[in-house]
Structure 1
Amino acid sequence: MFEEATVSEPPTYDPMLPDDALGDFRPALPSEIALLPLAGLLAYPTMVTPLAVSHPSSVQLVDEALAAGELVACSTLRTPSRPQQIQAAALFPMGTLAVVHRLLRLPDGTLRVAIEGIDRIQIEEITQHTPYLRARFQIVPEQLGDAQASAALVAEVRMLAQRMLAQLAAPSDDLPAQLASEHDALRLAYLVASHMLFRSPTDERESILSAPTAQAKLQLLRDILSREVGRFAQRAHALSAQPAEPPLADGEQLLARVRASAMSAEAKAAASRALGQIRQGAADPRAAAAYVEGLLALPWGQRAGPPADLGQLRQALDAAAYGLDEAKALLVDHLALRRGESLPETVPCLVGPPGVGRSHLARALAAALGRPLARVSLAAARSPADLLGGPAGPGLIMAALARAGASDAVLLLEDVDALAPAARAEAAQALLAALDAPRSLRDGYYGVAWDLAPALVVASAQVWEHVPPAVAARLEPVALAGYALGEKLAIARRHLLPAQLQAHGLHPDQLRVTDGALRVAVAEYTREPGLRGLDRALGTICRKLAAEVAEGRALAMRLVDEDAARAYLGRQRHAPDELAAPPRPGTVPALLLTPEGGDMLLVEATAMPGGLGFMLTGHAGDAVYEVAQAALSWVRAEAAALGLDAGFFAAHDIHIHIPSGALASDTPALGLAVAAALASLARGRPPQARLALAGALTVGGRLLPAPGLRERLLAAQRAGAASVVLPAATAAELAALPAELRGSIRLVAAQRADVALAAALA
């Protein structure tokens, strides 16, 4: 039998939604739409309904709708049916056009989603059954009916609903306030139907959706609520005269499991209250049972293993993750601090561009500790409820810990810099509960305190400057800048290539890749600080070799050298040596920090007869304009000392082009490169070949530090630079750089811009 979606908690409703929001939302709709059939459940317009989706065809439907941001149609089945047998007649005539919101995938493959009703629709014809249902439909506009009669019905239905709530345990703590504040007839009807008719037959609940006007809906609700209030009064009278009914067998079993569990006293009390509501008929049995099962599934007191030996931990990290020595040392130091009586004040945050090993290092840390890894993607958090739970279900953090099955899991809070802009401040505030000592979390769905202290909390971010300030104050950044060429070759040999061989069913004796081939893959097919592109390139080589083996065309052992690598990988994607062309006057390579790590950008300057001023294009924000103006002012003021024609700038208009891509915080580091481009242009002499610059410039000619030396030098190495001119203060970072990186590039350190330009334009 087909039982598609079940409600796990009464729907929620946003009373702050403007009255005309529904009427204004009329997107261009296709003639056909994906259809999600519901069994025993109705979705109403203007309401958010949580669903548990388990049927494979509907799981695929939801995945594709979420990925494409498409609307779906929701319609309730008259009787349970298999998807292949569903026709329009098997569905109630009215359905709801809806938006699919956040997604949580449970270990058994079930999806927990929330659908927000947009419009009432009528299903006309089922047009597709595989891989999931699609149907033709039409919008059925809502009508108010008699305004005066509707206003009177609003007051009457609200009074009956409040009387019923006085006798029932409210499904939502916010429901009384929502009832009191809602004055729109249509939305009040759907609010009451969603929250208070869970004991009514499906066809009766569907009649509310099908009723032609808001007035008719309220009349039906008045009759239903009057009946239910009367029944409840009769039941209360009967219970007062008779002994209490024996509890349900399932309830007894759940209660026994609760009492035998290791959950806290507060959690046991909450579970007992939920089971008591089932016995009293005061709550949806499915929702209450799901709540108790969720509490039981949490890892109360379950720990994966004893405290780690720090010496063995460092050895395990070294074996699992090549390089990243500074990051591994900081993680070990953080674990050493946790052995004291109190938690460290900050949480380590792995910061770096994609592919540099943030997730890999967290997995290696969890494996070395013998603990599971609980991953929470904060990019999926659209509201505080997504993080800390709400009526629709548990939050991302508690769901991750439940999947991990251990209270001392390594909790990885990924992408703390990617919180949704619409709810950034609120979500960041909610996140502080997981970061501030004593790290006691209260999930909005479970409503009980959870001790996060046993968990090892680690965060990750791509761009540190994008982390909300309140969150950044609780984090200690651990920089993962990227890998030098030698490190990439070693990682490819030790980790990437063996993994790709195994994934493609190849034996190590069947393939030998030379160092030259690996250099070709790095220089000509990837241009990144991390390893993702290199891993994909090795996967392409292994995939094509596996095809040769399957077709009987492969030799006993395939040698992949530079030429073979190019043949396997196809068209070259990057020039292997960006600085091979002769330099030109007015064009200077600048080393900058971007969201993807370090990069080399060309700063270009040209001159035209005129003398009216200068023009800036490309990355032309106010901060860049100020940097360019300061550089131009200094070069003009020091023209004689720099050996430039003092009349050049008076007789020419200057055009400076700076490509976009640099982080806003790194804009000042363009100053030295802009000054060098202007001096080179005025002198008519190109800069040295294979040279790049980085450094902030003051109007007085001093050079200020340019942080991120490793990222900049890695970018210079990838571009083929032989020399880098940088501020003397930045050279203090040299000691932390790999010997390979220090030895491959000649570094020229200068305290003043005139010294730097003398070296750059010599």
Structure 2
Amino acid sequence: MAVLTLPLLPLRDMVLFPHMVAPLFVGRKKSIHALSAAMNDDRRVFLTSQAEANVDDPEEKDLAAVGCVGRVLQLLKLPDGTVKALVEGDCRARMLACEETEEGFFRVEVESLEDTGVQPSEAQALVRAVMESYREYASVNKKTSSETLDAIEAILDPSHLSDAVAAQFSFKISDKQQLLETENLSERMLLLVNLIRTETEIFTMDQKIRSRVKKQMEKNQRHYYLNEQIRAIRKEMGDAEDALEEIEVLEGRLEEKQPSEEAEAKVRAEIRKLKMMSPMSAEATVVRNYVDWILDLPWNELSELSSDLDEAEGVLNADHYGLEKPKERILEYLAVQSLVQKIRGPILCFVGPPGVGKTSLARSVARATGREYVRLSLGGVRDEAEIRGHRRTYIGAMPGKIIQCLKKAGTRNPVFCLDEVDKMSMDFRGDPSAALLEVLDPEQNATFNDHYLDLDYDLSEILFITTANTLHDIPLPLQDRMEIIRISGYTEIEKYHIAKEHLIPKQIVRHGLEAPQIHFTRNAVYHIIRHHTREAGVRNLERELASVCRKVARDLVRGSGKPPFSIDVAAVRKYLGADQYRFGRVEKEHYVGTVTGLAWTQTGGELLTIETVLMPGKGEVTVTGKLGDVMKESARAAVSYVRFRSEDFGIDPDFYKEKDLHIHFPEGAVPKDGPSAGIAICTALVSSLTGRPVDRNVAMTGEITLRGRALPIGGLREKVLAAHRGGIEKILFPKENSKDLKDIPASVLRSVQLISVSHMDEVLELALLPLEPQKKKRKKI
């Protein structure tokens, strides 16, 4: 064996075999110097592999002892300072000694290695085995070119053949190094055959995986293909630890949550699906979200309910002034609850004008009963899916708002406030009010079925409270499922107490003030109520009080004044400006043909002035004031009744032939409608036709028949409160509405005279004043 002294070139992640030509990119200074030394000598260099590829400055212990003597065929210096070398392997060699030169590279003594242990007949058999293995691999791997296969088959020398074939494979570095170090040719070729067969099996399995993925892949969906490939690889290798951990977490949550039997069966079925999916697939995300929704819902969590009536009454009284009926109903519910183990949650509907405290009352009910509180605004909801959820077949499907709010509440028995139930509408996406029927029906909501969950959920433990401004905008089937509690407007006294006990303290805190710094006098509060607000509730009152507090805060910061600030009537006029409304719209004089009527609006009761005038003409009747069909019909009925009873009233029966009648409702820009102005229109007509003035202190409400009978109306309480606010002293109302007097506050009944009437004759007797002496001489019209 010849001994040679050659420069050493360490190789990273590579093994060079004899007869193998390989390009090398050299960047280390030591290696560049080694190549330069080889080029200056006979171009030969010793190439051996590093044990660890990440070692930048290897020592002798980091290098393999057996390597390959190679010849540098070409050397090219690149612009970045690195060198590209083309090297051809010559023979195997073992490193005997290693010495570092002044340039920093190693110069080593090596001896060449000869092949041993092979017989000609055995060598022929081994060559055949190697070629058969290689051909089998080439038949599987279509990337192997026929030229390469022909070139290898032309090699006759067994040693050369084994090195040439080994150079074609991407074996592990340790396997290649073992092939290089094996001097016994028989052992080397047997090892090579085993490695080729192993590589063939791996490639075949990879092809099976790819084939399985392609069958499951939709055409041109590369992302889906990659996910399925990961799935197939996981299935072959059994590497699904992360997915298994996630599934174990879900199963643990299921055991802890203990939902209904139906829900548990559903979750277990979905978890079984999840086990078969790749965690990265879109379908797995959909399944996981579905399971999470089911497990996040409160199936057994219940709030501990309070049954202390005194404490509950104290909470309700502290939060709200008045509202006796709703408070009484809540206390009744608590009393029954304390006697019965389980009571189905009632469906209460608070109906009243804006600002009377319907929503805040629902929050107080939650405090009084010890329940959680959730609120869902239904204003503008048009889609049925907002209530019952989307089916899971839709992209981005979610449960309905009912289920979402229950997840937020975290308990099965919260106070659930469905706000503005009368503001729902319908379109091509469905009727959400119809979807609410199942939610609000005590006979059905124990098995409420959300489209997304597709399983029954018990809503019977929930205390539902709905709010609405008007009852007639709620569909009748929905009304039938609710207990209606009307909350009318507040009287001045109630507004004053609400302002002093609730609104003013709240606004003082909100604006950074303290109670000793600002004081509202009684007259100032009443002045704001009478001259700066006109409403049934207290929302605008709160805004005006907030405006005063803001201006006080500004003066305090600027130093324009010193606390305490006393807010009297003068201060209110200074801060809020001129009066917005005239308190008490009663006429100053008794006019002919002018009657004060009473109207109901969504914001409470209003005074409604009705004027009639008589003009020469041909009997035309004109009705103006932006009226609805109902009020126009009331006007026609009143005219017909007056013509029918003209002789009884002392009116010329032929008046309509020579006179035109004009009936007008001022504030023409405001729409007006409703069946309650008949007797007022009739009174105004009789007044104009007889010349008798109408008592300015009298207001009236009621519908009229063609026979003169006064028909009952709705909203008496709101109308009476409006008359009280306007300074009316006497109110005429249909006798059949006498049952509604119990709803009117006692303080109002003491200051306003309420007279029930059943016929138009009674109305005219009470409302019309006698003719003045000089007018009695006039002829009949």
TM-score normalised to structure 2 length: 0.65
Deviations 1:204-256 (A, max 9, x none): xxxxxxxxxxxxxxxxx9732599589969968995x8879553423322332
Deviations 1:370-414 (A, max 9, x none): 212111111242211101211431211112222222211101111
Quick one: which amino acid aligns to residue 541 of structure 1?
V
- Matched with 2:690 is 683
Match of 1:224 among 220, 244, 260: 220
Distance of 1:587 and 1:405 partners within structure 2: 60
Deviations 1:675-720 (A, max 9, x none): 1111121123331123211011111111112222211111112222
Distance of 2:226 and 2:543 partners within structure 1: 68
- Give yes or no for contact 2:626–2:672 (8 Å, CA) kept in 1: no
Distance of 2:429 and 2:493 partners within structure 1: 40
Distance of 1:402 and 1:234 partners within structure 2: 35
Tell me, what secondary structure is at the counterpart of 1:576? coil
Distance of 2:378 and 2:412 partners within structure 1: 20
- Matched with 2:746 is 739
Distance of 1:661 and 1:548 partners within structure 2: 39
- Matched with 2:375 is 375
- Matched with 1:306 is 305
Deviations 1:43-73 (A, max 9, x none): xxxxxxxxxxxxxxxxxxxxxxxxxxxxxxx
- Matched with 1:417 is 422
- Matched with 2:398 is 393
Quick one: which amino acid aligns to residue 292 of structure 2?
E
Residues 694-713 of structure 1 correspond to what in structure 2 (within 5 A)? 694-713=701-720
Distance of 1:736 and 1:312 partners within structure 2: 26
Quick one: which amino acid aligns to residue 353 of structure 2?
P
- Matched with 1:635 is 642
Q: Which ranges in structure 1 are unaligned for 5 or more consecutive residues? A: 1-220
Deviations 1:495-523 (A, max 9, x none): 00000111112111111111111111111
Deviations 1:357-376 (A, max 9, x none): 10121111111112121111
- More moved, 672-681 vs 724-733: 724-733
1:555 aligns with 2:554: no
Quick one: which amino acid aligns to residue 600 of structure 1?
L
Tell me, what secondary structure is at the counterpart of 2:664? strand
- Matched with 1:270 is 266
Deviation at 1:645, TM superposition (A): 4.1
Distance of 2:529 and 2:344 partners within structure 1: 40
Distance of 2:467 and 2:421 partners within structure 1: 6
1:568 aligns with 2:561: no
Quick one: which amino acid aligns to residue 724 of structure 1?
I
- Give yes or no for contact 1:483–1:529 (8 Å, CA) kept in 2: yes
In the superposition, relative to structure 1, how do residues 537 and 423 fare at CA in structure 2: closer, same or farther (>3 Å)?
farther
In the superposition, relative to structure 1, how do residues 302 and 231 fare at CA in structure 2: closer, same or farther (>3 Å)?
closer
- Give yes or no for contact 2:306–2:368 (8 Å, CA) kept in 1: no
Distance of 2:672 and 2:378 partners within structure 1: 22
Distance of 2:345 and 2:563 partners within structure 1: 58
Deviations 1:457-513 (A, max 9, x none): 111111001101110111121000110000000111110000011111211111111
Deviation at 1:727, TM superposition (A): 1.4
Distance of 1:416 and 1:752 partners within structure 2: 38
TM-score normalised to structure 1 length: 0.66
- Give yes or no for contact 2:628–2:671 (8 Å, CA) kept in 1: no
- Give yes or no for contact 1:749–1:756 (8 Å, CA) kept in 2: no
Match of 1:436 among 432, 435, 441: 441
Match of 1:590 among 586, 594, 597: 597
Residues 313-352 of structure 1 correspond to what in structure 2 (within 5 A)? 313-336=312-335, 340=340, 347-352=347-352
In the superposition, relative to structure 1, how do residues 641 and 342 fare at CA in structure 2: closer, same or farther (>3 Å)?
farther
Distance of 1:507 and 1:237 partners within structure 2: 70
Quick one: which amino acid aligns to residue 473 of structure 2?
H
In the superposition, relative to structure 1, how do residues 580 and 625 fare at CA in structure 2: closer, same or farther (>3 Å)?
closer
Tell me, what secondary structure is at the counterpart of 2:488? coil
In the superposition, relative to structure 1, how do residues 560 and 688 fare at CA in structure 2: closer, same or farther (>3 Å)?
same
Identity of aligned residues (%): 32
Tell me, what secondary structure is at the counterpart of 1:422? coil
- Give yes or no for contact 2:346–2:464 (8 Å, CA) kept in 1: no
Tell me, what secondary structure is at the counterpart of 2:454? coil
- Matched with 2:6 is none
Tell me, what secondary structure is at the counterpart of 2:651? coil
Distance of 2:428 and 2:573 partners within structure 1: 47
Deviations 1:125-177 (A, max 9, x none): xxxxxxxxxxxxxxxxxxxxxxxxxxxxxxxxxxxxxxxxxxxxxxxxxxxxx
Tell me, what secondary structure is at the counterpart of 2:423? coil
Tell me, what secondary structure is at the counterpart of 2:586? coil
Match of 1:520 among 517, 520, 527: 527
Deviations 1:318-351 (A, max 9, x none): 2321101122212333455566577569621000
Deviation at 1:287, TM superposition (A): 3.6
Distance of 1:753 and 1:506 partners within structure 2: 57
- Matched with 2:251 is 255
In the superposition, relative to structure 1, how do residues 690 and 566 fare at CA in structure 2: closer, same or farther (>3 Å)?
farther
- Give yes or no for contact 2:383–2:430 (8 Å, CA) kept in 1: no
- Give yes or no for contact 1:504–1:546 (8 Å, CA) kept in 2: yes
- More moved, 288-297 vs 430-439: 288-297
- Matched with 1:117 is none
Tell me, what secondary structure is at the counterpart of 1:224? coil
- Give yes or no for contact 2:345–2:462 (8 Å, CA) kept in 1: no
Match of 1:760 among 758, 767, 774: 767
Quick one: which amino acid aligns to residue 323 of structure 1?
G
Alignment root-mean-square deviation, CA: 2.8
Q: Which ranges in structure 2 are unaligned for 5 or more consecutive residues? A: 1-216, 770-781
- Give yes or no for contact 2:596–2:696 (8 Å, CA) kept in 1: no
Tell me, what secondary structure is at the counterpart of 1:306? coil
Quick one: which amino acid aligns to residue 758 of structure 1?
E
- Give yes or no for contact 1:635–1:678 (8 Å, CA) kept in 2: yes
- Give yes or no for contact 2:595–2:696 (8 Å, CA) kept in 1: no
Deviation at 1:265, TM superposition (A): 3.0
